[in-house]
Structure 1
Amino acid sequence: MKRLFLLPLLTMLLALVSTTGTARALPALNDDTIVVRLPNQATMTLYVKDRAQLRELRNYKLDSLMLLLDTYIAQAEKASKSATSEQVTMEFYPAKDQPGKRVPEQIRITMHNDQNPGQPARKGERVDVSVGRVFGVTVEENSAGGDDRVSVRVGSSAKSDSIRTAERKAKAEERANRAVSSSFTIDLGLNALTDKQQDMSGTSLDLRPWGSRYISFNWLYDIRIGAKGSPLYLRTGPELAFNNYMLDNNRRFVNQNGATTLELPTEAGRNYEKSKLAVSTINLPLMVALSFRDDKGRDSFRMGAGGFVGYRLGSHTKLKYEEDGNTKKDKDRGSYNLEDFQYGLQGTIGVRGIDLFAKYNLNNLFQNNRGPQAQTISFGFTLLN
């Protein structure tokens, strides 16, 4: 392999980034391709995300990088000669060997052997060099019919982990420094009842746990408290919530004599597949929240606690059952003596991308002496925006 040919070409190519030299850059073939024709008729092709990415190479000591590549390519070439496989990959970590210096954290060299022992030589061999973490560049050398070709690819992977971390930190700091920031979230969970009391017919309000679902769409605003970068926020914003209460024990909600009671079906042998009360409300929470980030600028831990008030927008009951071999669905809209206003406590806690919530209604679901007495607890997880 012509390692001595590869090294000067790489040096000249990377030098073109910071000097004009005598090389001539042809018009780009497309948005991410730059063709460079050197005076010795060698043609080099660079694949980059944009020209700004090409100019990033000015920030690095290219001579030192070339010396590193020369040393590591020589080691990889020596190892490939004794290998029986068609491909040999070696990884080097110069940042560990030279702490404190601006060198790549990782260099991966892959030798592609197109020639098998004991067989005539084929068209040539190829070496791939990937320089990562500080910036990435992939070098390919092909030898075929006496013509050598070197391609340098600088793609989106060229952005180092340190650059990504810096950008993430900058965005996190920019969010943290905003006086007010907004977000959209969705809460998904279940409803349960506590402090249950029997209604006037002596029946308690029992729910099917998995059928009593809760969902809300939340447009939240975080108002920072304190100086820039403070993790303390005041959180508020409208929430559109839907509570479903799925009855158990083959009961249904019935309005009679100005009160809501739980009754069995009047038809002999009828079993309700579903018997539920659905309530939609508009809520306004007010919470104090803390949000912390790790050293890479990512959300790590957050929590919040406070209260909420709400108003009932609508409600209806729904029955599903079989009759004469047909599925019937009865839907009846009405207030069912539900409390129009509600209030309570709520809290959230989150780690990384997982957030949990819980809400507890301090007032009863139904009006006093006009329906089953119980208070609602909603809990589940939050889908972040």
Structure 2
Amino acid sequence: MRTGLLWISFITYLLCTAAGFAQEKTNTVDNWKYQDSLSNDKQYPKYYQKKIDDLNSLHQLYESELRTELKEYVEKVNKDLEKGKISADKAQELKRERAAQVAALITSHKKRIEAEKDFVVTEAEKGGSLSISTKGVEISLNGENLQREKKKFIKTQRGFSLSLGYNFLNGDNLGINDFSYPNNNYIAFGPSWLTQLDEKNHIRIRYGIEYQSHGLELNGNRIFTPNTDDTMVAPIGFSVEKAKFRQDQLMVPVHFEFGGTEKREYEDGRVRFTSDNSWKVGIGGFAGLNLSSRLKLKYEENGRDIKQTTINAFENNVFFYGLDAYIGKGNISFFGRMNLNDVFKSGSVDGQYVSFGIRFI
């Protein structure tokens, strides 16, 4: 046991390096508080000093974990020696090898931490800092530094759009009354961007990328016929619990948005516009690509529940386009969307999507 303690003491002596201990200092002129943990005794704003202290703590934890592992390893080797599993020379060799490995790991980690600290010190000495005193907040900038994060104007804002509603096909022989009211649904969502077009932000352009899904169910046990030269509306011939047609699509919507806005000017010079409490109107269009078409049937046959799905077996158009408009206040609006081209190819049933509902932006 005594031999183990001697080894630990010896290893600790090898691993110890000169380091300054952190002491809190106060500049009585401006009431700034610093943690002086640098060997050159320089003082840095608290923002950078915290980064340096965090790096010091990280290395201390790392070194402590390795020292503990080394201690446990030495104890294990000593037990093996006492039990006669290894010779004294072998025990010394094992302990020397592990000690050298630990020393190398700690030295390597120390160099990396010191390099990161040097980078922090360099940034601090450039003059870019954010410090807090009893007098308030002071921002000192050198070059671009924090200026990138605090631009005076931001013309384009990012967001997320979610649309929920009802849809149906409108055509020569199809209308809203041909579809199930509870089982027809529409959903669209995706990232969106809003770019300011005029100085007062009364005119904007909103655009994005959306995934949308149309869900349709004809009433009267009818379906859109799959696996035929032309997709038509036809009776199934038996009673079904569910006969739902769905198309999944990817599209790009673009709108010109008009409405009131509120201008906010901050003390640091930033200017921001917000329309959270203002009415807005959007007019535009969309175009996209059909990803898949499927028909899901659910019915009972001979006492068994049958589920059947037919995928991409319809004469539908791949590309689509249409018009879209919305009106609302803040982040909530009501929308109406209408396709200008037919869902199915020429010769098939005539019909264009009509969708409406509520949109969250």
TM-score when scaled to structure 2?
A: 0.53
- In 2, Cα distance between the equivalents of 1:342 and 1:357? 19
Q: Which residue of 1 aligns with 2:32?
A: none
Deviations 1:125-176 (A, max 9, x none): xxxxxxxxxxxxxxxxxxxxxxxxxxxxxxxxxxxxxxxxxxxxxxxx989x
CA deviation after TM superposition for structure 1 residue 236, in Å = 1.6
Distance 1:205 1:331, change over 3 A: farther
Matched ranges for 1:140-179 at <5 A: 177-179=153-155
Structure with the higher strand share, 1 or 2: 1
Contact conserved, 1:190 with 1:210, CA < 8 A, in 2?
A: no
User: Which amino acid counterpart does residue 186 of structure 1 have in structure 2?
Assistant: L
Q: Which residue of 1 aligns with 2:299?
A: 321
Equivalent of residue 164 in structure 2, options 169, 180, 188: 188
Matched ranges for 1:1-385 at <5 A: 177-197=153-173, 206-227=178-199, 229-255=200-226, 257-266=228-237, 270-293=238-261, 299=276, 300-370=278-348, 372-384=349-361
Contact conserved, 1:343 with 1:361, CA < 8 A, in 2?
A: yes
Q: Which residue of 2 aligns with 1:124?
A: none
Distance 1:246 1:235, change over 3 A: same
CA deviation after TM superposition for structure 1 residue 354, in Å = 2.3
Contact conserved, 1:317 with 1:331, CA < 8 A, in 2?
A: yes
- SS state of the match for residue 182, structure 2? helix
CA deviation after TM superposition for structure 1 residue 178, in Å = 1.8
Distance 1:179 1:353, change over 3 A: closer
- In 2, Cα distance between the equivalents of 1:257 and 1:289? 43
Unaligned 5+ runs, structure 2: 1-27, 29-130, 137-149, 265-273
Unaligned 5+ runs, structure 1: 1-19, 21-50, 57-172
Contact conserved, 1:214 with 1:243, CA < 8 A, in 2?
A: yes
Contact conserved, 2:228 with 2:314, CA < 8 A, in 1?
A: no
Deviations 1:321-375 (A, max 9, x none): 12233322110101411111111100111113421111111111111112x1111
- SS state of the match for residue 189, structure 1? strand
- In 2, Cα distance between the equivalents of 1:181 and 1:214? 26
CA deviation after TM superposition for structure 1 residue 207, in Å = 1.2
Sequence identity percentage: 26
- SS state of the match for residue 285, structure 2? strand
Structure with the higher helix share, 1 or 2: 2
User: Which amino acid counterpart does residue 356 of structure 2 have in structure 1?
Assistant: F
Distance 1:298 1:236, change over 3 A: closer
User: Which amino acid counterpart does residue 243 of structure 1 have in structure 2?
Assistant: H
Contact conserved, 1:205 with 1:247, CA < 8 A, in 2?
A: no
Contact conserved, 1:282 with 1:311, CA < 8 A, in 2?
A: yes
- In 2, Cα distance between the equivalents of 1:189 and 1:204? 14
- In 2, Cα distance between the equivalents of 1:254 and 1:194? 17
Contact conserved, 1:196 with 1:205, CA < 8 A, in 2?
A: no
Q: Which residue of 2 aligns with 1:66?
A: none
CA deviation after TM superposition for structure 1 residue 55, in Å = 6.0
Distance 1:365 1:322, change over 3 A: same
Distance 1:244 1:361, change over 3 A: same
User: Which amino acid counterpart does residue 261 of structure 1 have in structure 2?
Assistant: M
Q: Cα RMSD over matched residues? A: 3.6
Contact conserved, 1:252 with 1:262, CA < 8 A, in 2?
A: yes
- SS state of the match for residue 211, structure 1? coil
User: Which amino acid counterpart does residue 183 of structure 2 have in structure 1?
Assistant: G
- SS state of the match for residue 339, structure 1? coil
User: Which amino acid counterpart does residue 341 of structure 1 have in structure 2?
Assistant: F
Distance 1:190 1:324, change over 3 A: same
- In 2, Cα distance between the equivalents of 1:205 and 1:357? 21
CA deviation after TM superposition for structure 1 residue 53, in Å = 10
User: Which amino acid counterpart does residue 168 of structure 2 have in structure 1?
Assistant: A
User: Which amino acid counterpart does residue 377 of structure 1 have in structure 2?
Assistant: V
- In 1, Cα distance between the equivalents of 2:135 and 2:303? 75
- SS state of the match for residue 358, structure 2? strand
CA deviation after TM superposition for structure 1 residue 295, in Å = 7.8
